[in-house]
C-alpha cells in the first residue's frame, strides 16, 4: 500500500483557490480566538465566503500565516472576522473543488459524515412506460382520407345526448 502524502498547508490551498475566484472557508466558530458574529459562535460549523472581487468588497482581506482576517458582510452589516488556521477544516473554490483536513474537523461534523456514509442509498426505481398491444384497425374502421360533405357526420363519430 502506498504511503499517504501529507496534506498541503491550509494557507497554500487558500491562496491557490483565491487566485481562481472566491473561497468558501469551513470552520469551527466555537474555537478559542475565532472572531465571528456571536449568533454563529454556538454552531459546530460556519462557512464564510471570501474573495478579492466579491459583490460586497472586502478591502481589508488578509490571508497570512496566522489565518484569515477581513470585514465581511452579514445581513448587509459589516463585521470584522478573524479566523485562525486551527479552526479551518475545509476550503473549497467556486467550482466546489477543494480540500478537507479531517484532523481539524469538529466531532459533530465527523460523526454526521460517518452516519451518512453508512446509510444505504435509496433504491433506484426505474420508471417504465406501460405498453399495450392495440387491435389492428381494419380497412372499414379507418377514417376516410377525404373529409365528409357539409352536414354529414363521419362514420367514426357518434351523436351523444
Residue with cell 382520407: 145
Dihedrals phi, psi of 84, to nearest 5 degrees:
-80, 155
Please list, in sequence order, all residues whose beta carbon lies within 8 angstroms of the beta carbon of residue 18, skipping any fewer than 6 positions away: 50, 51, 52, 63
Whole-number pLDDT of residue 2: 59
Read off the pTM.
Answer: 0.70
Whole-number pLDDT of residue 143: 54
The answer to whether residue 23 scores a pLDDT higher than 90 is yes
Q: Averaged over 58-77, what is the pLDDT? A: 95
Per CATH, the homologous superfamily of domain 10-117 is SspB-like (2.30.30.220)
Integer-rounded Cα Rg, in Å, for the chain is: 32
Cell numbers at 89, concatenated: 477544516
Per domain, the residue ranges of the chain are 10-117
Kindly give the pairing relationship between strand 67-74 and strand 62-63: antiparallel
Amino acid at each position: 500500500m502506498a504511503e499517504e502524502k501529507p496534506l498541503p498547508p491550509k494557507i497554500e490551498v487558500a491562496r491557490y483557490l483565491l487566485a481562481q475566484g472566491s473561497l468558501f472557508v469551513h470552520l469551527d466558530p466555537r474555537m478559542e480566538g475565532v472572531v465571528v458574529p456571536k449568533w454563529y459562535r454556538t454552531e459546530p460549523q460556519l462557512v464564510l465566503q471570501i474573495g478579492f472581487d466579491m459583490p460586497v468588497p472586502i478591502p481589508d482581506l488578509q490571508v497570512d500565516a496566522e489565518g484569515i482576517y477581513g470585514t465581511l458582510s452579514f445581513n448587509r452589516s459589516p463585521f470584522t472576522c478573524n479566523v485562525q488556521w486551527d479552526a479551518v477544516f475545509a476550503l473549497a473554490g467556486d467550482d466546489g473543488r477543494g480540500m478537507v483536513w479531517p484532523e481539524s474537523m469538529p466531532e459533530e461534523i465527523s460523526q454526521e459524515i460517518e452516519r451518512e456514509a453508512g446509510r444505504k442509498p435509496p433504491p433506484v426505481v426505474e420508471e417504465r412506460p406501460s405498453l399495450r398491444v392495440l387491435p389492428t384497425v381494419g380497412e372499414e374502421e379507418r377514417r376516410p382520407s377525404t373529409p365528409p360533405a357539409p352536414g354529414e357526420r363521419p362514420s367514426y363519430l357518434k351523436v351523444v345526448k
